Amino acid sequence: MAVITVSRQFGAGGITLGKMVADELGYTFADNYVVQRVAKEANVSTHWVESFEKEAGSKLSRFISSMVSQRWLDRVLGDERGYLDEQIYLDYLVLIIAQFADEGNVVILGRGSQYILNDHPDAVHVLLVDEPENRIKFMMDRYEMDRKKAERTVNNEDRRRASLYKRLGKADYEDPRLYDLVLNMSQMTLETARDRVCDLAKQKNAES
């Protein structure tokens, strides 16, 4: 019943690898599912959540691993407010990622899941890194972007990610000590990376 969190430098192949690992193990790939659950719980559209997440680097300022406050529970439970702000989003995110982890057999992409589940006994935390040039080429090849757009996208996402974690007080997000496995994607294929993650998840399942 392992849960795998995949953190990555943008363009290192996190979405692609996450899907490959989930397919290989028969796990759920919880990327859009997280958005859908947050939207359902907050009674807002998935588009609203997606737009909110795109602005995360400039808007979010609470620790993503903080405990859910009683004030939030008192305010939201049973209240179909149809509203989303920074605090509500983060509280739902913590709860929903924890729920996915408890259900098990899931691959969770990003969203600070390596912090939220840092003490989860069945969690395997993976970080993908690569050279900027390789990440730009990956976006060009996988998403049919021209070079200018791919370069702009990678640079913008790098800045957004750095800004987000700075505001969350988590400057160590690329510290290898946070992860069970760090994959340098310039040194291996996606298939090799998939096999290494799957082997580690199987080992975790055997030990639990």
Task: Please state which of the ranges 11-25, 72-86, 165-179 shows the lowest mean pLDDT.
Answer: 72-86
**Residue 97: how many CB atoms within 10 A of its CB?**
26
Q: Please report, for the domain that includes residue 193, its CATH number.
A: 3.40.50.300
Q: So what's the pLDDT on residue 147?
A: 95
Q: Is the pLDDT of residue 72 over 80?
A: no
| Number of residues that this document lists for the chain | 208
* Dist CA 153 CA 9 (whole Å): 12
Name the domain count of the chain: 1
- Its domain, for residue 53, covers 3-207
Q: Higher confidence at residue 127 or residue 96?
A: 127
* Dist CA 40 CA 49 (whole Å): 10
Q: What percent of the chain has pLDDT over 70?
A: 79
* Dist CA 138 CA 18 (whole Å): 15
Q: So what's the pLDDT on residue 207?
A: 80
Q: So what's the pLDDT on residue 106?
A: 94
